[in-house]
Amino acid sequence: MNQQVIDSDRGSFELSRGPSKVLPGILGRKLERLWQPQQRPRVNFLYVSLVIFIAIVVLVGLETYSFLQSSQSNVPGAFGMWEQALGQLVFPALPQEPALIVTPDTPAGDSPNSFIVQRGNTYYMYASQGNVAQPNIQLRTSTNLINWSNPIDALPTLPPWAKCCFTWSPDVHYIQGRYVMWYSSLVKNLTNPSAADNGIECIGWASSPSPQGPFSPAMTPFPQICQTSRFGSIDPHVFVDPSGALYLIWKSDDNADVNSNTHSIIWVQSLAPNGTTLLGSPHQLITADRPWEGRIVEDGQLVFAQHAYWLFYSSSWYNQPDYSISLAKCLGPLGPCDKLGVWLNSNDQGTGTGESAIFQSSSDQYWITYSPWAARGSSYTPRPVAIARLGFLPSGPYLGAP
């Protein structure tokens, strides 16, 4: 009778009958050869362990990615870790320290509405005129996004319609061999008794062959966009669709009538390939109609990432703690858009985290800047520039550690 014999001392066993006696045919003969001790393949346990370890890491990674997609929230720091678009790991930012402050919170460093472009190894950061002692449009340069030069004036000459000392919201893009800047400024001979500055702001453009400037404004007698019935137009941003089509996004300043309950609107209109000629009619992209927006939506900027259109915009009054960056997902450059809520709000680094701008570096890394109006618990400070990495998942954007 065939029996299984066990050697308890050596901890091994063998069968009294080989496989060829049990399994007839070719299969039995092949197994028989492997069954012979001298022909059994040696197992490299280190190799097996490595394969098992890699498999576990892959499975855990897939489960983590799936969990992050399903549990993603609008709270900074709770966003995902996997940068699928670039195939690299991007660590999430700390929720209360999401960015680096790269300009001083002093009167000389007051830099609202910052906007960055890159040419070669140099970054060019444009910013609004924070006070009357500053250039019309501030321009700083850097090679590392951290250390910035002292500002010079990128727009030393204003057009005939513009009034001194309130030149804001620069947006710069390289279009057809030149750099085109859209900006807003106070308009001469237009007044708004309800506004804090007693004036109305509207939008114009300027151009330069170099990002260093100086930019030369279009010397037209009137602004390119000026919705006087809505108390002006501000915050222009150019969006370049993946097809190459150009659009201009801006805000009508309806809330500048502080004595009414009018709500501001973010608009969009097609641009000609030259980046300065408006085509067709403007479309309403979103209006301030949610409780957290407090009559105001402004500074809208579209980004196409992960096969979707994401609208970043500021909501509420700029000098209040709930001034924040909100997010909407749009079906296209002309909308419609579905508001997703507040995306980045006040934190330990500063109160009022609005006035954001997004740019993509030559390495395809997205970055976001914004300007808190009160830094590190102060009641009020000049607005410094905060900068952070920006990542995108199919479920939405998240802040990466700077």
**Residue 60 belongs to some domain of the structure:** no
Q: How far apart are CA 285 and CA 289, in angstroms?
A: 12
- Identity of the amino acid at 341: G
**Residue 33 belongs to some domain of the structure:** yes
User: No. of H helices and E strands in the chain?
Assistant: 3, 27
Closest CA to 351 of 332, 374, 335: 374
Residues 184 and 87 placed together within one structural domain of the fold: yes
Choose the weakest-confidence range: 51-55, 124-128, 322-326.
Answer: 51-55
**Residue 298 belongs to some domain of the structure:** yes
pLDDT for 196: 58
User: Has residue 224 got a pLDDT over 80?
Assistant: yes
User: Has residue 186 got a pLDDT over 90?
Assistant: yes
Q: Which residues pair with 118 in a beta bridge?
A: 123
Sign of the alpha-carbon torsion through 183, 187, 190, 195: positive
pTM: 0.78
Residue range 61-85: mean pLDDT, rounded: 38
Sign of the alpha-carbon torsion through 203, 205, 211, 214: negative
pLDDT for 211: 98
Residues 128 and 228 placed together within one structural domain of the fold: yes
b (16+ CB within 10 A) / e for 281-316? ebeebbbbeeeebbbbbbbbbbbbbeeebbbbbbbb
Residues 233 and 374 placed together within one structural domain of the fold: yes
pLDDT for 45: 61
What's the distance, CA 265 to chain centroid? Answer: 21
Q: What is the pLDDT of residues 21-52, one digit of tens each?
A: 444 555 455 445 544 554 444 546 666 666 66
pLDDT for 96: 79
Residue range 154-159: mean pLDDT, rounded: 97
pLDDT band at 257; cut points 50, 70, 90: confident
Residue range 351-376: mean pLDDT, rounded: 90
Residues 140 and 21 placed together within one structural domain of the fold: no
Residues 228 and 375 placed together within one structural domain of the fold: yes
Residue range 107-121: mean pLDDT, rounded: 92
**Residue 61 belongs to some domain of the structure:** no
pLDDT for 279: 98
pLDDT for 247: 98
**Residue 267 belongs to some domain of the structure:** yes
**Residue 383 belongs to some domain of the structure:** yes
**39-43, 96-100, 174-178 — most confident range:** 174-178
Contacts of 47 (CB under 8 A, 6+ apart): none
Instruction: Look up the domain containing 161 and give its range.
Output: 72-400
User: Has residue 347 got a pLDDT over 70?
Assistant: yes
Q: How far apart are CA 142 and CA 149, in angstroms?
A: 7
Contacts of 384 (CB under 8 A, 6+ apart): 101, 102, 103, 104, 105, 109, 110, 111, 350, 371, 372, 375
Residue range 221-240: mean pLDDT, rounded: 96
pLDDT band at 3; cut points 50, 70, 90: very low
> Which CATH number fits the domain that encloses residue 347?
2.115.10.20
Residue 364, exposed/middle/buried by CB under 10 A (0-12, 13-18, 19+)? Answer: exposed
Higher pLDDT, 386 or 193: 386
Total structural domains within the chain? 2
Residue range 359-366: mean pLDDT, rounded: 92
User: Has residue 402 got a pLDDT over 80?
Assistant: no
Q: What is the pLDDT of residues 305-315, one digit of tens each?
A: 999 999 999 99
Residue range 290-312: mean pLDDT, rounded: 96
Q: How many CB atoms lie within 10 A of CB 271?
A: 22
Residues 33 and 123 placed together within one structural domain of the fold: no
Q: How far apart are CA 344 and CA 133, in angstroms?
A: 31
**Residue 58 belongs to some domain of the structure:** no
Residue range 92-101: mean pLDDT, rounded: 80
Residues 35 and 157 placed together within one structural domain of the fold: no
pLDDT for 401: 77
